[in-house]
Amino acid sequence: MKIYALFGITCVGKSTIGKLLSDRMGYDYYDMDDEIQEYYNDTLDNIYKDCCFPMSRDEKQAKVFSHILHKCKRDTIIAVSPMYYYKLFRNLLKNYSVICIELKDTPENIAKRVIFTDENDEIIVDDIGEYKENLRDVKYFIFRYKNTFAHLEWKFYIGGRSALDCADELEIILKASPEFWQDMFKRNKDEYMPVENPYEKYINYIIRRVQSEKSVPAYLASELEGKLGLKGFIEEILDNQMAWFESGSEADELTYILQKTSYKEEMIEIVLWFAECYQMKNNEISVYVDCLKCGYEKVFLKEGKELFMTYFVCEKCKTKMVEVYKDEQ
Ligand SMILES: [Zn+2]
């Protein structure tokens, strides 16, 4: 009995290709997302709702992965939902001698295929205007799962081809003797550029600010620059911030990151703040407030003179607006 597991980020095509391929090969097929919903008898949204940390989400997934592997009786293909912590499923792969294939495609090709589902897993058809946003998310996910998927032996490069074409080629590969696999899996590899660290721009900006900013308390600045290794430290905080966004957790962002790292609260605040300042500087944060002067609906959040202070600027008439909290005296 052979078990093939198709890995890859969301929307790369695991389910479609996996189903086609298993039909042709006459193998059993499991879609892990479907199995997860069946196992917990709920929608994915509800299942992950209480998962404050990516680890708890992964644990739920790994349990179902184990459950699927356990019930395999003959040759099988499994479309595996992305899990971040390799250590959670490493032993499963080994114990069941799973043949792992990572499906890869360029961020641009994947972003074109992204669709969203609502809380009942009904598909919400995506519009082209959201492509850019999708592309940013896809790049982030590729980067995030890069180290996890690096452990998987075989890489299949989709190169924007249709699921049918990919299933055709995978069928040929699976039927061939494994001694030829090394060469067969190489096709289309050259098109692939490594995905850059999405934090690079923030990190450089934050480092400059920490080093030059007078508003950063001196002891923090020296601690940040000194023993911690500034770049890695910032990256870890930003990574946990993204994980917090991703988990849909209701826990406070700062509390979440504090729990995941051992850094001082003030330092985490400074890093998050400077990351936000970068976005404010580049007009990346617009807020749903109408301009009080001209009524224009696009208003940007801007950094104020004092640390942690903000104001709004209308995109059209450039009027500055300050938010005043009446209760705070
Ligand atoms: Zn205005």
pLDDT tens digits for 215-243?
777 767 677 666 556 787 888 888 888 87
Q: Give me ligand 1 centre to Cα 323, in Å.
A: 15
Contacts of 294 (CB under 8 A, 6+ apart): 314, 316, 317, 319
Helices marked H in 41-83 — which ranges?
Answer: 44-49, 54-71
Beta-sheet strands, E only, within the chain: 3-7, 28-31, 76-79, 99-104, 116-117, 123-124, 154-157, 286-287, 299-303, 310-314, 320-321
Q: Give me ligand 1 centre to Cα 201, in Å.
A: 30
Q: Give me ligand 1 centre to Cα 317, in Å.
A: 4
Take residue 50 and report the two structure tokens written for it: 């209480």
Rounded to the nearest integer, the mean pLDDT of the chain is 86
CB within 5 A of ion ligand 1: which residues?
Answer: 291, 293-294, 296, 314, 316-317, 319
Question: For the stretch 162-182, what's the b/e string if a residue is b when 16 or more beta carbons lie within 10 angstroms of its beta carbon?
Answer: ebeebbebbeebbeeeeeebe
Q: Give me ligand 1 centre to Cα 11, in Å.
A: 40
Q: Give me ligand 1 centre to Cα 279, in Å.
A: 21
> 26-30, 47-51, 142-146, 181-185 — which one is most confidently predicted on average?
26-30
CA distances to 16, 38, 178, 204, 252 from 268, in Å: 42, 40, 49, 16, 13
Take residue 177 and report the two structure tokens written for it: 């003797």
Cα 106–107–113 angle (5° rounding)?
100
Cα 106 from chain centroid (whole Å): 15
CATH code of the region 3-191: 3.40.50.300
Q: How many CB atoms lie under 10 A from the CB of residue 326?
A: 5
Domain range annotation of the chain = 3-191, 199-279, 283-329
More confident residue, 129 or 266: 266
Q: Give me ligand 1 centre to Cα 24, in Å.
A: 61
Q: Give me ligand 1 centre to Cα 276, in Å.
A: 23
Q: Give me ligand 1 centre to Cα 294, in Å.
A: 4
Q: Give me ligand 1 centre to Cα 313, in Å.
A: 8
Rounded CA-CA distance 238/232 in Å is 10
Q: Give me ligand 1 centre to Cα 324, in Å.
A: 18
**Segment 274-309, tens digit of pLDDT:** 999 999 999 988 888 889 899 998 999 999 988 888
Q: Give me ligand 1 centre to Cα 321, in Å.
A: 10
Paired with 303 in beta bridges are 310
Q: Give me ligand 1 centre to Cα 148, in Å.
A: 47
Q: Give me ligand 1 centre to Cα 205, in Å.
A: 29
More confident residue, 227 or 180: 180
Mean pLDDT for 13-31 is: 96
Residue 71's region, left for phi above 0, alpha for psi from -120 to 50, else beta, is alpha
* pLDDT score for 229: 67
Mean pLDDT for 99-117 is: 84
